[in-house]
């Protein structure tokens, strides 16, 4: 298959982002080991080295089998699907969301704890991906805009998942984004509640998980923390759960 240089360069960048390996001989060898189905020097000798003296629209002839292995590793059905995605124009509104955030959610209890977790929004090919680093699990999901809202199904490698929906309208570069989440508790009960994304200037690696008490937020020197304390103060406005299920009959609905 003939594939353009610019697509191969973007493919290597996507591999580097996913594996957190540098685009050099050692890093490319480590990437190949993670991908499987290709030789340890394939990425370096057959692609990276061959690109040095070529320009964006030049083409390189490569075998489909190895390229398909790489595409599947990146989450695409085959190399044709990966190339097609790289040709799609990027959504300008979603582009404006790229960056780092803290997400805040209130614990589903009367304790009044507000959880802070790092979030990063980035572009992966033609997709926009959100990564949420929790204290135990890491969640990832693609962003979609529908009817003025962001929809994100966040899934962890352990198959734990949450659905998030945020009000966005037509706004570019929002500083604060309000939304709601729904999912399953550690006790396997459906739960839901409010969520807030707050854009920050630090890198994703610098962001930390933290559990704030409402009083801690209220007396913080940071004005955004005091605003969050007021927003999350009332349990009934921030958390939703079902009654205890015993019989799966009408009696379960009794308060």
Delineate the domains of the chain, giving CATH numbers in brackets: 2-87 (no CATH), 93-242 (2.40.128.120)
What does the DSSP assignment read for 186-247?
TTS-EEEEEEEEEEESS-GGG---EEEEHHHHHT-SSHHHHHHHHHT--HHHHEEEPPPPSS
User: Could you give the 3-state DSSP secondary structure of residue 67?
Assistant: helix
Cα separation, 204 vs 92, whole angstroms: 22
What is the value of pTM for the model shown?
Answer: 0.72
The Cα angle at residue 94 between residues 93 and 99, in degrees rounded to 5: 115
Specify the pLDDT at position 111.
Answer: 85
What the block records as the tokens of 190 is 């459906």
Specify the pLDDT at position 176.
Answer: 97
User: Could you give the 3-state DSSP secondary structure of residue 208?
Assistant: coil
CB 4 within 8 A of CB 59: yes
Specify the pLDDT at position 148.
Answer: 92
User: Could you give the 3-state DSSP secondary structure of residue 104?
Assistant: strand
CB 204 within 8 A of CB 118: yes
Cα separation, 93 vs 174, whole angstroms: 10
Specify the pLDDT at position 85.
Answer: 80
Specify the pLDDT at position 169.
Answer: 92
Specify the pLDDT at position 200.
Answer: 95
Each of the 255 residues of the chain gets a pLDDT tens digit; together they read: 888 988 999 899 889 988 889 999 999 999 999 998 899 899 999 999 888 888 888 888 898 999 999 999 988 889 998 888 887 766 889 989 999 999 999 998 888 899 999 999 998 777 899 999 999 999 999 999 999 999 999 999 888 899 999 999 999 999 999 999 999 887 888 999 999 999 999 999 999 999 999 999 999 999 999 999 999 999 999 999 888 888 999 998 987
What the block records as the tokens of 187 is 């006790």
Specify the pLDDT at position 123.
Answer: 85
Specify the pLDDT at position 17.
Answer: 83
């Amino acid at each position: 298959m003939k594939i353009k240089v610019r697509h191969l360069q973007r493919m290597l960048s996507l591999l580097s982002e996913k594996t957190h390996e540098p685009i050099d001989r050692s890093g490319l060898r480590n990437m190949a080991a993670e991908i499987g189905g290709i030789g340890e020097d394939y990425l370096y000798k057959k692609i990276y080295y061959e690109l040095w003296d070529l320009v964006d629209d030049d083409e390189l002839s490569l075998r489909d089998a190895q390229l398909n292995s790489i595409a599947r590793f990146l989450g695409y059905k085959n190399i044709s699907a990966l190339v097609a995605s790289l040709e799609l124009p990027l959504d300008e509104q979603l582009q404006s969301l790229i960056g780092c955030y803290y997400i805040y959610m209130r614990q589903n209890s009367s304790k009044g704890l507000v959880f802070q977790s790092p979030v990063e929004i980035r572009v992966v090919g033609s997709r926009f991906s959100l990564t949420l680093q929790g204290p135990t699990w890491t969640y990832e999901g693609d962003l979609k805009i529908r009817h003025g809202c962001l929809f994100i199904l966040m899934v962890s490698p352990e198959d734990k998942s949450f659905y998030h929906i945020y009000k966005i309208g037509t706004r570019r570069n929002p500083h604060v984004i309000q939304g709601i989440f729904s999912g399953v508790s550690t006790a396997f009960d459906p739960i839901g509640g409010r969520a807030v994304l707050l854009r920050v200037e630090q890198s994703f690696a610098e962001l930390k998980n933290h559990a704030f008490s409402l009083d801690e937020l209220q007396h913080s020197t940071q004005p955004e923390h005091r605003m969050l304390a007021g927003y999350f103060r009332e349990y009934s406005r921030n958390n939703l759960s079902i009654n205890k299920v015993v019989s799966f009959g009408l009696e379960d609905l009794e308060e």
